[in-house]
Structure 1
Amino acid sequence: MIKLQLKRIARKPSYTIGKLFVDGVYFCDTLEDTDRLDKGMSATEIATKKIPGQTAIPEGTYKVIVNTSPKFKRLLPRLVNVPGYEGVLIHRGNTAADTAGCILVGENKQVGKVLNSTYYEERLVDMLKHADNISIEIV
């Protein structure tokens, strides 16, 4: 079992910065779309507040699987049963324009960006691809 935890630390008007932990150990920084949803919202409530492609997923705990992304054609971690969302992945990218609701991994060394994201995506996939039970808690 592997437990991921994403701690959102900077909620800005156009993006959200966080820190990703793997089994309690800091792994990398994250970048998401704007955090505008409240924990525990129903799919109906989410639909009224969500701006498609510009809204971070709600806080909560989700099952994660690793499978081949039809869009990216490579193995990626996928969050399962996120209310109001489909196809939420953890992947490489640099700015909020690259997220579309997904979680980007990298190093937050520039305002509003994560860098070296390919390295962190590949490391994360290697850590997770053979795990039986993966979850992510977003706080």
Structure 2
Amino acid sequence: MENKIIRVAQGKQSTLSQLYINGIFQCYLLEDKIREVKIASQTAIPTGVFELKLNTWGAKNADYKRAFGNLHQGMIEISGLPNFSFVYIHVGNTIKDTAGCPLCGFGFQFAEGDFQVTQSIAAYKMIYPKLVALAKDPSNKFTIENNFQF
């Protein structure tokens, strides 16, 4: 099964990606800029093959439980990233919302040299159950790759 984040474009401080689950496009993702040297909360996660896990503790988890009720079973964490921790796929629209995490959206915009994603909450509600199912599979693998097209 092809579970991937494929980066397709870069802005001044942003990176636009596409999320695929089982080889099928799901939504766009927004990350910070790709950097050679990591700057905390301002750098895209590295390429490679990683795992998804459910993180069921912490303040963000409690916030999402309040916001999404019974849908929420834990934060979707990308695990095994070198020099990164607590990287979640979550809601937000601009790089100000990322803190180094991918944000989901059904659409995107390009303004003043950077990307934004739109309809983030709707996209999250659609992809979340699929990501939970993957995270619960102990053999899940998730690939992050660059394929800049525009």
User: TM-score over 0.5 for the alignment?
Assistant: yes
Give me the CA root mean square deviation: 1.6
Instruction: Give the unaligned 5+ runs of structure 1.
Output: 38-48
**Superposition map of 1:1-139 within 5 A:** 3-37=2-36, 49-68=37-56, 70-72=58-60, 73=62, 74=64, 75-111=74-110, 112-130=115-133, 131-132=136-137, 133-139=139-145
Q: TM-score, normalised by structure 1?
A: 0.83
Moved more, 61-70 or 99-108: 61-70
Residues in 2 aligned to 1:108 and 1:17: alpha-carbon distance in whole angstroms: 11
Q: Distance in 2 between matches of 1:24 and 1:101?
A: 25
SS in 1 for 2:129: helix
| Same amino acid, percent of matched pairs | 31
Compare the two structures and name the one with the higher strand fraction.
1
Instruction: Work out whether residues 106 and 122 of structure 2, in 8 Å CA contact, stay in contact via their aligned partners in 1.
Output: no
Q: Normalising to structure 2: TM-score of the pair? A: 0.77
Q: Would you tell me which structure has more helix in proportion to its own residues?
A: 2
Q: Could you list the runs of 5+ residues in structure 2 that have no partner in the other structure?
A: 65-73, 146-150
Number of aligned residue pairs: give it: 127
